[in-house]
Amino acid sequence: MNLTIQEVERIADLARLHLTDEEKERFREQLSSILGHVAKLQDLDTAEIQPLTSMSLECTRLREDQPGESLSPEELLNNAPDAIKQQFRVPPVLDTDNHS
């Protein structure tokens, strides 16, 4: 299993990780090696198996619709790297709506 540098860059971009060239090459090698190992899962025939998507043996825990206490704005913004006008400040986001 051999990843290319382009694939490494694509994944790093998706994950919003800046990597140095050295890191890209190192990760390329290491990830290829790890993926090579995990490929052995393909040996198993799992056609009849249901994926284990939940580890909760009970189902469905719903919460009563009662409003509770929120943090004060000060508590919320206490750890903020940059805040003004009681909001978190970030560099300008030009693409006005990234939501689908």
Q: Tell me the closest approach of the beta carbon of residue 2 to other proteins, in angstroms.
A: 13
Task: Give the nearer residue to other proteins in terms of CB position, either 2 or 89.
Answer: 89
Sign of CA dihedral 83, 87, 90, 91: negative
Q: What DSSP designation does 66 have?
A: -
The C-alpha atoms of residue 69 and residue 49 are separated, in whole angstroms, by 44
Q: Tell me the closest approach of the beta carbon of residue 63 to other proteins, in angstroms.
A: 4
Burial of 8 (0-12, 13-18, 19+ CB in 10 A): buried
Q: Tell me the closest approach of the beta carbon of residue 47 to other proteins, in angstroms.
A: 9
